[in-house]
A and B are shown apart, each in its own frame.
Chain A
Amino acid sequence: MALIVAVAILVAALMVVLSQLGGAGGSSASSGDVGKLYSGIPQNGTTLGESSAPVTVYLYEDFQCPVCGQFSRETFPEMVDRSVRGGEVKVISEPLIFIGSDSVPAARAALAAGEQDRYWPYAQRLFENQGQENSGYVTDDFLTDQARNTPGLDVEEWSSDLKGSSVTQQLQAAQAKAQSAGVDATPTLIFSGPRGQTKLVGMQDYEQVSQAIAQVD
């Protein structure tokens, strides 16, 4: 009996160690990593975070913009973990189509994922796999591949939503919002909270983001 218990403990411990190796993950956005970054955080369309969060960050970005990609990869995960997860901040993405014609299908694809509340993991995949701007890398196959690797996304439904009028309306609304907010570069972050508004343009580290949050909170 003691032998069985000892063997069971050993086997279970081995499985735990192997599981931890997987859990540690790598730096690229595998579907598992994408799931982990947003785990337990409410997602509603292009909104990430608790609806009751006192501070709202409007993130104007273009999926072809290299600096947006850098912000998404280097600063955003820390912002999610330290400010969004705890309910202090919610982020609303406003996808823009400044850079070129390839920005349009990329934004539409992310918004279509948003119809299933999978906007953020899809957007993360777009940034992780970003190519040279206006090089034609945003093909149907590229977008479908990102959809297939977005955890929890029903690809057939996504494909159908991609052609829908809801996505078109959301995209037009984002452009109009950017125009009325005076946004003319990406990424632009507009922080809105009980103590007013502030704006950051270009690449930011978490320290700068954190200061802007504190300024309006």
Chain B
Amino acid sequence: MKGRRRGPRLVLGALSVAGLLISAYLTWIHYMGVAPICVGGSGGCETVQTSSYATILGVPVAVVGLMGYSGLLFSASLRGAAGVYLGFLVALVGTFFSAYLTYLEVFVIHAICEWCVASAAVMVAALLCAALGVWHLAKENQAVER
């Protein structure tokens, strides 16, 4: 098993922690039934958090986010190709789903939650970081083959 560059792993780990903090806050908000703190008032965040799209089969989307970021953090802790590919897979799923959630906010719910936007931005950054890891790994593989 090949080694893995430390830089992208550290960045991915830091992004995972940031995402975990956002998801943990939104999960807490959900179960406490309180309004989230948002810049410029909590109206948008509250509307999104209380919409019927805020849960999947009864599970709050914030909890799904917690699971996703936990998966990313786990992948960042792994050395070798398995961690690289797992991180890429989780970040790709997270980015697709974040895009869908952003579409819902803009076109269906008609309200923007800054915490959700922040989470989507963290997930896109995590995808870029994971893609960089995959690219480095591919380059290392090519060098070994030569």
Q: Which residues of A contact B (CB under 8 A)?
A: 1, 4-5, 7-9, 11-12, 15-16, 18-19, 21-25, 30-36, 38-40, 42, 148, 151-155
Contacts and interface: CB of A to CB of B under 8 A. Distances in A.
Nearest to B32: A154
A22 B56 contact: yes
Interface in B63-116: 64, 85, 88-89, 92-93, 96-97, 100, 104, 108-111
Contacts of A32: 50-55
A15 B104 CA distance: 13
A12 B52 contact: no
Given A24-B52, A151-B49, 13 more contacts: A9-B96, A11-B93, A12-B97, A15-B64, A19-B104, A23-B51, A31-B50, A32-B52, A35-B49, A38-B47, A40-B111, A42-B43, A152-B33
Tell me what chain A mostly uses at the interface: helix, strand, loop, or mixed. Answer: helix
Contact of B47 (A22, A39, A154): A39
B51 A39 contact: yes
B115 to A, nearest CB: 14
Interface residues of B, number: 33
B33 A155 contact: yes
Nearest to A11: B93
A151 B57 CA distance: 18
A4 B109 contact: no
Contacts of A33: 52
Contacts of B57: 18, 21-22
A109 B89 CA distance: 49
Contacts of B47: 35, 38-40
B35 interface: yes
B14 interface: no
B34 to A, nearest CB: 6
Contacts of A23: 51-53, 104, 108
Given A15-B56, A18-B56, A40-B111, A35 B50 contact: yes
